[in-house]
Amino acid sequence: MTHRSNKDVLQQLAQHEAICTTGGAFPLVLAHAQGSRLWDCDGREYVDLCAGFGSLPLGHNSDALRSAYADDGISTGMGDIYASVAKAELLSALHKIMPAYLCRSALALSGSQAVEMAIKTALLYHRHRRGFIALHDSYHGLDLGALSLTAMAKFKQPFHAWLYTDKVEHVPLGCRLAELEQAVQRQRHIGTAALILEPVQGRGGMQVCSDAWLLQVHDFCRQHDILLIFDEIFTGLGRTGNLTKAFKIECDLLCLGKALGGGMPLSALLGREEVMQAWPRNEGEALHTGTFFGHPLSCRVATATLARLVDDDLANRAQQLGHTAGVRLQALLDTRSEVQAVRGTGLMLAIVFRRAQQGVRLANRLAAQGIIAIPAGTQGECLSITPALNIPADMLLQALATLGEVCG
């Protein structure tokens, strides 16, 4: 390949790419990567504290990914018609490590698509109900169905006319049960089908739902026969110290994405038998499908990624290393008046600033120092830290030390 500079590639891109897409303020073009290290087209090296928005549990170009690529099995599937060995093997591997009560699953390509499928499942299950409850500051993706559940106003405002805002009630994370009760009351004419939440809100700035509150929500949903959906697209498969919150607190539907694909676009909706039975059997044409659903190459990478996650006990590592990193960040930022808190759990951490856009500014300054980390929070007030679960500890702690210096 001929050598290209960052500037050269960005100029080429700008000629044809829609202006709404690539938008990082720092002018870098990703050229190659290994593990938690990245290089741009100018040959500059970066430590990756973002890991593809949390989608690379094993880092870049993992062995899992490379071995699956080397396999000469078929690379594209026929979604809902002919199955592949790769899909069957992935579902077996996934269900072996997921709670037994979530015994059925369907695959899709993105997090948003898993959420869309959860919405459709709830509508099929509760045929006469149309209402959903979600949380303030939630992020469930930007496809139109998922976007109606997402709380972050900036993504919704221009599309308001096509959103189901009249069918979604948003309540605060940690709210009293009376507030949930009121939301259900407001939906009494349409009926509440499901409540969806992220056990830790990622894009909303690493806001953690306590187990005690989740348990109350679980009991509330049971009492009202409302489906409880865990959106674990960000939190799932190890990042927060467990494979899923659904082991501790039972849900009815579980959305997985990001880490599942180990770098490939893959997501899944898992559900209880009786809930997933709400879908009609596919007798030749599925009611819900997509050209690339069950993509065999992605399934092979996912199966190999799950094996590594389990064999190397990366959930446990995420919890321990995340704890060390959180303590280190607290110590580094303790005296900074502009920092409000260090928040999160496992390797899903955020520095929360008192002012909007501070996370955005810090992300750009960090890129200039060779660290990739991205902003989060409804106002860009956070900097999120979501590295690969196998990032070397010294690499992470060194990057945090640099962050502490750049932050001042």
Ligand X SMILES: Cc1ncc(COP(=O)(O)O)c(C=O)c1O
Q: Mark the segment that binds ligand X (CB under 6 A) among 164-172, 196-204, 212-220, 242-250.
A: 196-204
Least CB distance to ligand X at residue 198 (A): 5
CB closer to ligand X out of 134 and 226 = 134
| Contacts by residues 157-164 (CB-CB < 8 Å, ≥ 24 positions apart) | none
- Any contact of residue 139 with ligand X (CB under 6 A)? yes
- Any contact of residue 112 with ligand X (CB under 6 A)? yes
Query: 51-90: which residues touch ligand X (CB under 6 A)?
Result: 53
Alpha-carbon 387 to chain mean position: 13
- Any contact of residue 305 with ligand X (CB under 6 A)? no
- Any contact of residue 239 with ligand X (CB under 6 A)? no
Least CB distance to ligand X at residue 3 (A): 32
Least CB distance to ligand X at residue 352 (A): 17
CB closer to ligand X out of 322 and 332 = 322
Considering only 52, 257, 262, 263, the residue that binds ligand X (CB under 6 A) is 257
Could you count the other beta carbons within 10 Å of the beta carbon of residue 7?
12
Q: At what angle do helices 314-333 and 296-311 cross, to 10 degrees?
A: 70
Q: Mark the segment that binds ligand X (CB under 6 A) among 22-30, 37-45, 229-237, 238-246.
A: 229-237
Residue least distant from ligand X (Cβ): 111
- Any contact of residue 245 with ligand X (CB under 6 A)? no
Least CB distance to ligand X at residue 227 (A): 17
- Any contact of residue 345 with ligand X (CB under 6 A)? no
Q: Mark the segment that binds ligand X (CB under 6 A) among 9-17, 109-117, 311-319, 378-386.
A: 109-117
Considering only 231, 300, 376, 387, the residue that binds ligand X (CB under 6 A) is 231
- Any contact of residue 377 with ligand X (CB under 6 A)? no
Binding site for ligand X (CB under 6 A): 53, 110-112, 115, 139-141, 198, 202-203, 231, 233-234, 257
